[in-house]
Structure 1
Amino acid sequence: MSAQQQLTPPAIGEVWPGQGGIYGGLRQYPEGQCHVIFATENVGRHAFGDYGTSVKAVSRTDGRANTEVMIARKGKHPAAVAAAAYTADGHTDFYLPAIGELHHGWQYAPESFSEEWYYQSSTQCSATSAYYVGFEDGWPHGDGKSYERVVRPVRRFLQ
């Protein structure tokens, strides 16, 4: 397969061979327009963590930045640790998606997620709560950081 064929994305919602998961389309990030790849599987149920402590994981659009903040807190954020530990097709750059990235998944690739589960985001609401998305309606909710919710890692790379 040529390099050009490898970088030609499939239809949104389909697995992109060699890229670690399900193609979620394009999104704008600080580094530019990026392809979004959702892992093909969940990595369990994990809490946001660090209940009662306000951390700087507040981006609604950049889960990678949020995850970096959370990982730096040395194991206090189980959902971020689980997402960052995920690997697929040799890619080790997965992270816990921000609330906007989860909502993007609900908009463009909802069949890749279960409507029965709530998915944890990396976006903090307050010292005691974090955002999550219910895929039955796509609505973002904020609730206790100690509740365990489903974690679906995501990665991105420049177009």
Structure 2
Amino acid sequence: MTQAQQTIAAAELPERGQPLAGGIFVTRYWLNGEECALVLLDDELSGVWGKYGEDVAGAKNYSDGEANTRAMAEAGSEIAIKALGLGAHIPSCLEGQLVMAAKADGLVTLREDRFHWLSTQYSAHYAYSMDFEDGWLTYGGKSYERVVRPVRSLPIQ
């Protein structure tokens, strides 16, 4: 498992779109009552979300992608295990929208030819995915292969 930066001081935050913690600083946001810095990694993973028909109870959070990704990994998701191995996680619905806003602002480049998995489960059969061409949030069968751009969420001290 990659040892990634765990926190950042507010005074050390770069401008949005600049390098931070092995990726690009997307934005500041609040997660579980704590202000965090969202970082988009350059790594791209590919695979299925998980088993179609299997409910992953801990992966239903719309904002906490790390909690979702950990639940996915515990259920055997290979892309979740790979993301955690990078010291990162699969974006939640909220984090995916924040990444899309950074793309719309010209701060990051994202693949537009495929849907990207998000870590938020829609149901036992489906999970959310996002089209980064126009920001379309939808859901698809968990057994479909899609790409993932992992992110890190660093608490701001």
What is the Cα-based RMSD across aligned positions, in Å?
1.9
Moved over 3 A (4+): 4-7
Q: Say whether residues 1:11 and 2:15 are aligned partners.
A: yes
Q: SS at 1:33's partner residue?
A: strand
Q: CA deviation at 1:5?
A: 9.1
CA–CA separation in structure 2 for the residues paired with 1:27 and 1:55: 26
CA–CA separation in structure 1 for the residues paired with 2:142 and 2:9: 42
Match of 1:69 in 2: 71
Q: CA deviation at 1:158?
A: 1.3
The count of corresponding residues between Structure 1 and Structure 2 is 145
Asked whether the 8 Å contact 2:50–2:72 carries over to 1, the reply is no
Query: Match for 2:126 among 112, 125, 129?
Result: 129
For structure 1, the residue ranges without an aligned partner over 5 or more in a row are: 87-91
CA deviations 1:116-146 (Å, max 9, x no partner) are: 2211111111111100000011011111000
CA–CA separation in structure 2 for the residues paired with 1:84 and 1:61: 17
> TM-score w.r.t. structure 2 length?
0.84
Q: What does 1:2-151 align with in structure 2 at a 5 Å threshold?
A: 8-16=12-20, 19-43=21-45, 45-56=46-57, 57-73=59-75, 75=76, 77-86=77-86, 92=87, 94-110=88-104, 111-151=108-148
> TM-score w.r.t. structure 1 length?
0.83
Q: Percent identity?
A: 32
CA deviations 1:62-96 (Å, max 9, x no partner) are: 101111211222x2x1221121122xxxxx3x111
Q: SS at 1:59's partner residue?
A: coil
